[in-house]
Amino acid sequence: MSTGLQMTMTRRACVMSLGCLALLLPLSAQQQPLIRSIVRFRLKPDRVNDFNAVMRERAALLKKAGSQRYFTVWAAQSGPREVAVVRYYQTWSELTPSRDLKMSDNAAAMANLTARMMACVEYTERVIDEIVPDSSMPRVGSLPPFVRASKMMVQPGKLNDVLAVLKQETLPAMKKGGVTTWGVARTRYGAPTNELHTYLGLGGWGDLDQPSPIRKALGEEAYQKYLAKMGAMLTSVEYTIYSLSADMSHQPPAQ
């Protein structure tokens, strides 16, 4: 693995990227939605508080009306002022825009909130990816307060090889290292198709003071070999830390 790429993988834990944020629902593996839509909002510097206030109002209105179109909101902890809205789907047809019947009596109020929200935004971007279930842990339990997301650019012709390593080596190491929230996703629309996303649940920034779960599981020598193998198949790796904005999210009622 080149020195430059290793430094990228180990030092850029707080670089802005939207990689792989996870909506963790207590569902069986068969029920878990695998299609994910991530909408990035780049905020105007002087409108961050206004945006946050509107998002809280939207979440409260959706909850009051009983809408079942759930989503989570995540705030980037470094880089540009970005917020990500993450929504999952069972089938591709669900991405077709349709009227939310639960919100019929609140259509005007929602339109007003949307207009206020967009007035706080410099631009938006949408990426749709698909979770790779045999390289990911089942989504169970509550949402982690933080996630470390990665965006990995794979060299041409190496995508299947990287996916094999993620399945056969990375996932077992994550489990052995005590991780409970881990996933891999393939980009489908809105970004290069040789781009892979991963997500790792964290309790907070302090988790980064400890050795990485893979390093802990493999030991130093095997970990360096793992980095070299992955580094030879990647052109870049970018990490980001995101925090959950629970009061701006619209989540299912607690089971």
Is 196 part of a structural domain of the chain? yes
Is 254 part of a structural domain of the chain? no
Is 12 part of a structural domain of the chain? yes
Q: What is the pTM of this model?
A: 0.84
What type of residue sits at position 150?
S
Is 94 part of a structural domain of the chain? yes
pLDDT in tens, 235-251: 999 998 999 999 999 99
CB 71 within 8 A of CB 24: no
- CA-CA distance, 111 to 100, in Å (whole number)? 13
Is 129 part of a structural domain of the chain? yes
Q: What percent of the chain has pLDDT over 90?
A: 82
Is 17 part of a structural domain of the chain? yes
Is 20 part of a structural domain of the chain? yes
109 Cβ contact partners less than 8 Å away, ≥ 6 residues apart? 61
Sort strands 82-89 and 234-244 into parallel, antiparallel or unpaired: unpaired
Domain carrying residue 54: 3-248
pLDDT in tens, 128-186: 999 999 999 987 778 999 999 999 999 999 999 999 999 999 999 999 999 999 999 99
- CA-CA distance, 135 to 120, in Å (whole number)? 37
- Total domains in the chain come to 1
Q: What is the CATH number of the domain that holds 108?
A: 3.30.70.100
